Homo-oligomer: A and B are copies of this chain.
Amino acid sequence: MRVINFNAGPAGLPQPALERAREELLDFQGTGMSIMEHSHRGKDYEAVHDEAISLLTGLLGIPATHQVLFLQGGASQQFAQIPMNFLTPEKSADFLMTGVWSEKALDEAKYYGKPRIAATTVMADKRYTRVPKQAELQLDPKAAYVHMTTNNTIYGTQWHTFPEVGGVPLVADMSSDILWKPIDVSRFAFIYAGAQKNIGPSGIVLVVVDKEFMAKGSQNIPKIFRYSTYAENNSLYNTPPTFSIYLCRNVLAWIKSVGGLTQLEKWNREKGETLYAAIDRHPDFYRAPVEKESRSYMNVVFRLPSEALEDTFVAEAKKAGMVGLKGHRSAGGIRVSLYNAVSVENVKTLVSFMDQFVKTRG
């Protein structure tokens, strides 16, 4: 019996994508071996690799100006690899600070250049409960790029209108909300996303990079760290994480099969609105700390009247077949992650549980 999985990441994956993997785990398409036992230079694997790129290109509407790359090391490695490629000790980059991941990205950039805070919504207690408004941005037109985190898993905030940054290249960590809805990729010079929330297993990072921006990358860094190395070799310069890319392919194929990002957005909006409505109709019991306009549709955070009640909530939900509801260790409370593999039905089950919980414990 599968549980309802609200994990923040690694997160639940669409069951059809996993079933497909199970079906052919020891014998991929009659080749007599698992896809993970195929050479990454063979035609069987390459077809999967290229299909993953092609599916992502189709789903996101990636223009010809941009290229898809597969990297490793998680978004955390990108925090360092992006400034390694695009900064020098004299160059600065602007950071829009919206949470822990923005902070980590800024910290790693210090080793290569001059990161600068162009906006922050941090509060006295070091938390963040909203994203900045356009008028709050103090952008440097000479910055090498502007870095943002489109969705903040820990604090449950999300940018619903992407910032205007003039002619400066916009770099976005979309690890926790890529593919939640259609976006205009052309607004971004560099998009990166660890796969383990909306795309696949951990251990693979998807990058969508503007080729002109990429061309500005340093050539004075190791070949393995240059984005151009991946671009020139279709992400096959060295052995990629083939099975992880195969699983991403399965998830992307599933997304296409259910109607693409237009359909996912409908479901995701319904999921988020259903859950926030449940919180808002019990304001004396459930408290959502995030400013309404910044509420995330991917990670919904809220508090109960006491930590003891929060623990009971998590424990009783688990008994009812729902897991992954405990808030991040640094934030506490409840966190419900509503990535693409979570269905509208799953959220309705949770909401019934929440309504019932107020009745019995409120």
Q: Is the CB of B18 within 8 A of A5?
A: no
A324 touches which of B39, B74, B239 (Cβ 8 Å): B39
A25 touches which of B22, B194, B204, B321 (Cβ 8 Å): B22
A224 touches which of B76, B221, B238 (Cβ 8 Å): B76
Known: A31-B3, A223-B107. A238 touches B76 (CB 8 A): yes
- A177 an interface residue at 8 Å Cβ cutoff? no
A7 touches which of B19, B39, B84, B223 (Cβ 8 Å): B39
Chain A residues bordering chain B, tally (CB within 8 A): 66
- A202 an interface residue at 8 Å Cβ cutoff? yes
The smallest beta-carbon distance between A17 and chain B, in angstroms, is 10
The smallest beta-carbon distance between A334 and chain B, in angstroms, is 15
Number of copies: 2
Q: Is the CB of B74 within 8 A of A5?
A: no
Central interface residue in A77, A223, A239, by most chain B CB within 10 Å: A239
Complex: chain B residue closest to A324, CB-CB:
B39
A26 touches which of B2, B239, B241, B329 (Cβ 8 Å): B2
- A58 an interface residue at 8 Å Cβ cutoff? no
Please indicate the chain B residues that have their CB under 8 angstroms from the CB of A324 in the complex. 39
A77 touches which of B1, B41, B73, B220 (Cβ 8 Å): B73
